[in-house]
Amino acid sequence: MSKLTVTPSILCLLFLVGGCAFDVIRLEQIPAKLDSKNSCNISFILVKNVNIQLDGGYSRILKQGTKWNCIGRTVQGDVYKTKDQILTIEASNVFEAYIVVSSKKLIGFYLPVEHTFSVLDNPIDIVIEEFPRVQSINQ
Amino acid sequence: MKTILKTFSAVLVTVLLVSCATGPKFSDISPSIRDAMPDKGRIYIYRTAVLGAAVQPEVRLNGETIGKAVPKGCFYVDRDPGDYRITTSTEVDRHLSFILEKGQTRYVRLNISIGFFVGHVYPELVENEVGEKEIQQCNYTGQP
């Protein structure tokens, strides 16, 4: 094979590999059903910031003082959302997310548009102040 | 050499100026913008970055084209509450999925990142106080 045919082939391969590389950060998700009728009727305030390292190098902070209301349950845990900050998780694409908590550990995220659960590889202990959900706290 | 540099700079400035959004400053028209209907939510979409000015993909909302990612440009749409996905396409698709509630306002900033041949434009949901501030410097490119 001559250099004239090898060089374009290599360039073509590099182009294809390079093109694919932009889409490699995929968010692992599994289907999840949110049972909102079986609501946990609990709210909490985060006493400390929670630093989250996501796969793919992205990070997020759940801010101290934010109020989180339980809106339902999945098989994995209780699902909480807040109006005090925006929470998205990011890979090649960006997804609005609610947190999933079990035994006072942040174990992953519920993606309300996709109806999926994305697990955190390393669950994170969260320091919270719990109280029954009241009307004055917006969901 | 100096002449080449001057010419190049002039061309670059011209390209940037031509590529940027034209239209009234958002801060000038925002007082006259009506609130969304009570049963709807509002989504503001804006791009502050001039970097990659020539890259101006269409912005699609659940598959419907609603505008373009023009540097320093902004626009808004009012929609029923529900699930939404904003997508921009350059050499790759990038999307943002989010929930829009009744009476809610959401701000989506179109960021630019480096790509293989061209820059990638990716949508990001930002806090309202950030969006409200940043959009003021943009030019309104939506329907008058």
B124 touching A, CB under 8 A?
yes
Partner residues linked to A104 by β-bridges: none
Q: How many domains does chain A have?
A: 1
**How high is the pLDDT of residue B6?**
61
Q: Does A19 sit within 8 Å of B95, measured CB to CB?
A: no
- Give domain status of residue A25, yes or no: no
- Give domain status of residue A128, yes or no: yes
Range of the domain at A90: 30-132
> Which tokens hold the place of A113?
């548009």
When comparing pLDDT for A120 and B13, which is higher? A120
**How high is the pLDDT of residue B49?**
85
Mean pLDDT of B76-87: 98
Rg (CA), chain B: 16
The Cα-based distances of A15 to A8, A21, A27, B66 in angstroms read 10, 10, 24, 31
The residue among B18, B11, B25, B28 whose CA lies nearest residue B50 is: B18
Q: What whole-number distance in Å separates Cα of residue A31 and Cα of residue B64? A: 26
What is the least distance, in Å, from the CA of B141 to any CA of chain A?
Answer: 25
- Give domain status of residue A98, yes or no: yes
Categorise residue A92: left if φ over 0, alpha if ψ from -120 to 50, beta otherwise.
alpha
Q: Does A23 sit within 8 Å of B116, measured CB to CB?
A: no
What is the least distance, in Å, from the CA of B93 to any CA of chain A?
Answer: 9
pLDDT for residue B143 is more than 90: no
Q: Does B120 sit within 8 Å of A22, measured CB to CB?
A: yes
Compute CA A87 distance to the chain's CA centroid, rounded to the nearest angstrom.
Answer: 8
Which B residues, 52 through 91, put their C-beta within 8 Å of a C-beta on chain A? Answer: 83-85, 91
B98 contacts in chain A (CB < 8 Å): 88, 96, 113
pLDDT for residue A22 is more than 80: no
Domains of chain B by residue range: 2-140
**How high is the pLDDT of residue A1?**
53
State which residue of chain A sits closest to B83, comparing Cα positions: A113
**How high is the pLDDT of residue B82?**
98
A101 and A77 in contact (C-beta within 8 Å)?
yes
- Per-residue pLDDT tens over the stretch A27-54: 889 999 999 887 688 899 999 999 999 8
State which residue of chain A sits closest to B94, comparing Cα positions: A93
Mean pLDDT of B121-141: 96
**How high is the pLDDT of residue A13?**
55
Q: What whole-number distance in Å separates Cα of residue B55 and Cα of residue A97? A: 29
A62 and A50 in contact (C-beta within 8 Å)?
yes
Q: Does B97 sit within 8 Å of A94, measured CB to CB?
A: yes
How many CB pairs below 8 Å do chains A and B form together?
52
By three-state DSSP, how is residue B18 classified?
A: helix
